[in-house]
Amino acid sequence: MTTTVTMLPPEFADLERFAEDWVHPTETERNAFRVKQSMADLDDYYVTIFPRMDALCEYIDQFSLDAMPAAAVRLLRLGQMLMEVVPATEVYRQPDVPNSLDFERFHIISPDDPIKALEN
């Protein structure tokens, strides 16, 4: 008998398909990922994740910032990825900001989030 390894808690099985590729720990990586997606994929992400955000927040807020289990951290990153995606899907309707300074010159040097993931 084989068991499937899941990356998210069972109550978020509907989001599991995003867990492999859409989880990124930093703003730089989330942004780099977002600008390479198609609008269809960004829209798909938006319509799937947004309705689940209250439940997602309720789940991750069970934990304290300095002791988050890995699955909760992944949910947090998915929530942060939604924030990265919404300007594209809700406002300017293309993957990257039109008429803007390109990333060769515009550098993201944001600090890491103040969280501590629990080991394993």
Binding residues for another protein, rule: CB under 8 A, are 27, 31, 50, 53, 56-57, 60-61, 63-65, 68, 72, 76, 79-80, 82-84, 86-87, 90-92, 97-101, 105-111, 113-115
Token pair for 82:
């939604």
CB of 18 to another protein, least distance (A): 15
CB of 15 to another protein, least distance (A): 14
68: β partners: 117
CB of 13 to another protein, least distance (A): 20
CB of 47 to another protein, least distance (A): 11
The C-alpha angle with vertex 65 and arms to 59 and 66, in degrees rounded to 5, equals 130
| Contact criterion met (CB below 8 Å) for 118 and 68 | yes
Residue number, 4 or 114, with CB nearest to another protein: 114
The C-alpha angle with vertex 36 and arms to 23 and 114, in degrees rounded to 5, equals 35
Residue number, 27 or 41, with CB nearest to another protein: 27
CA distance 114 to 87: 24
Residue number, 16 or 27, with CB nearest to another protein: 27
Token pair for 22:
């859409």
